[in-house]
Amino acid sequence: MTVIRNNSISGINSITAQSNSLNFYDTSGNTLSIGASVTGNVTGNVTGNLTGNVTGNLTGDVTTGVGGSINVGNSFINATSIGIGTTTTAGRNAGVGTATGTLIYNTSNVRLEVFDGSTWIGGLETYRITSPTVTADTSSRPGWAVLTFTGPGSIDVTGSGSAEVLVVAGGGGGGYIYGGGGGAGGFRTATLSLTAGPYPITVGGGGAGGVTPSTSGRGSSGGDSIFSTITSSGGGGGACSQTSGPSDVGQSAGDGGSGGGGSHWTSSLPNPAPYAAGNGNTPPTSPPQGNPGGDGAPPAYAEASGGGGGGAGAPGSNGPVAGTGGAGGNGSPSSITGSDVTYAGGGGGCGTVTAGSGGSGGGGTGGAPPAAATDGTDNTGGGGGGSNSGTGASGGSGIVIIAYPTA
């Protein structure tokens, strides 16, 4: 039975019942639209505009005009495109009873994904990073690709997205006779927005230790490491209190990502004088990329010592007493690879009795009789140890690591 109420449907001149349809016409013969809500099931074809909410199942075809669109929230279908809206990994994982074949666009990893009934798998990758020089590691940090560069290289970016980066410069070399420890290479981390295209990568080498008969016994600075907008400065070389001959004077430590350790004289030298430690975070960055070196111990006859090179996490230590070298400053940790690893420790200063230890993160140990100074560890940016009576130790080379989400 069909019931038509005057206060619900008005302006009707005629009603024509046809097979499986009921048509309403005005006095001019035009088909009327029903401008009220319809509650219940509608079975059959609906021709024209349907404005409002549809609650329940819609069985059959929905056809719109050229400029029409079917919209559900942020998703839509029109004549030229389909928009599926966006969600995040957290929003995706919060879904309950997800149907097999569900398609989403995940803004956390910038990818289309489809649910296969048990897990989400990548569909069309809209963002990825590849490199002709290194292979991405996807096992050490699940859900991420990690690319590690221990020398010059490059990456190619498809699409656009964010990436975490670690950029560590080369450590400075330790100073020659009575030398301070080399400063650690600058340590910088960042999350960058990358766009499509190639990106070159520079990894700084470690600085050489001070040698004789050079014109300067100060250790050489480490090389800068560079990726995109991030430049980490090489560590400063350690100071020395005497160069190539008995009449030569020493030289203060170098500035850098972290500064080299200073040197204090012994009164047995012809030109006794203190030689200053180097400044860290040079040029300045925020947050700081490193720390200053420490000073040598106060002088005593034949008991000179060098200060420790600065590290990414702490300044180099002063020599605590004459004849004892200062410890290198400790480095800073990073978990970009999925495990905590410490980088950029300062080199230890020399001692005539006790050498300064290297800072955590690859800093070399200073020299003390009869042991020679040790090099900073490669690919950590550690500073080299200062020498007691010969060539200073070399700084360790730097490293660049890039990680981006894949799931």
pLDDT at 196: 92
Rounded Cα–Cα distance for residues 384 and 365 (Å) = 7
Which tokens hold the place of 188? 């910088």
Q: What is the mean pLDDT of the chain?
A: 84
Closest CA to 129 of 164, 97, 82: 164
Rounded Cα–Cα distance for residues 37 and 9 (Å) = 11
Closest CA to 120 of 77, 87, 161: 87
Q: What is the dihedral of CA 50, 55, 56, 61, to 10 degrees?
A: 20
pLDDT at 52: 63
Rounded Cα–Cα distance for residues 179 and 191 (Å) = 38
pLDDT band at 7 (very low <50, low <70, confident <90, very high): very low
pLDDT band at 394 (very low <50, low <70, confident <90, very high): very high
pLDDT at 8: 46
Of 84 and 147, the one with more pLDDT: 147
pLDDT at 250: 81
Q: Is the pLDDT of residue 200 over 90?
A: yes
Kindly report, residue by residue over 162-184, the tens digit of the pLDDT.
Answer: 999 999 999 999 999 889 999 99
CA angle 377-200-256, nearest 5°?
45
Of 97 and 398, the one with more pLDDT: 398
Do 167 and 232 contact (CB within 8 A), yes or no? yes
pLDDT at 81: 80
CA angle 299-301-302, nearest 5°?
100
pLDDT at 4: 46
Which tokens hold the place of 404? 């981006």
pLDDT at 403: 97
Q: Is the pLDDT of residue 1 over 80?
A: no
Closest CA to 224 of 191, 193, 188, 198: 188
Q: What are phi and psi of 145, to 5 degrees?
A: -105, 130
Range with the poorest average pLDDT among 40-54, 212-226, 308-322, 364-378: 40-54
pLDDT at 283: 96
Range with the poorest average pLDDT among 14-18, 80-84, 205-209, 362-366: 14-18
pLDDT at 116: 79
Which residues make Cβ contacts (< 8 Å) with residue 287, sequence separation at least 6?
A: none
Q: Is the pLDDT of residue 307 over 80?
A: yes
Rounded Cα–Cα distance for residues 258 and 173 (Å) = 12
The percent of residues in the chain predicted with pLDDT above 90, rounded, is 54
Which tokens hold the place of 313? 């996490």
Rounded Cα–Cα distance for residues 161 and 106 (Å) = 12
Q: How many CB atoms lie within 10 A of CB 260?
A: 56
pLDDT at 84: 79
Give CA separation, 92 vs 80, 126, 159, 325, in Å.
Answer: 27, 18, 22, 57
Kindly report, residue by residue over 248-267, the tens digit of the pLDDT.
Answer: 678 899 999 999 999 987 66
Residue range 51-77: mean pLDDT, rounded:
70
Residue range 24-53: mean pLDDT, rounded:
62
Kindly report, residue by residue over 214-231, the tens digit of the pLDDT.
Answer: 567 899 999 999 999 999
H or E segment and range at residue 105: strand 103-106
pLDDT band at 23 (very low <50, low <70, confident <90, very high): low
pLDDT at 225: 98
pTM (whole model) above 0.85: no
Of 75 and 277, the one with more pLDDT: 277
Residue range 113-123: mean pLDDT, rounded:
75
Residue range 338-347: mean pLDDT, rounded:
97
Of 268 and 329, the one with more pLDDT: 329
pLDDT at 304: 81
pLDDT at 12: 47
Q: Is the pLDDT of residue 161 over 70?
A: yes
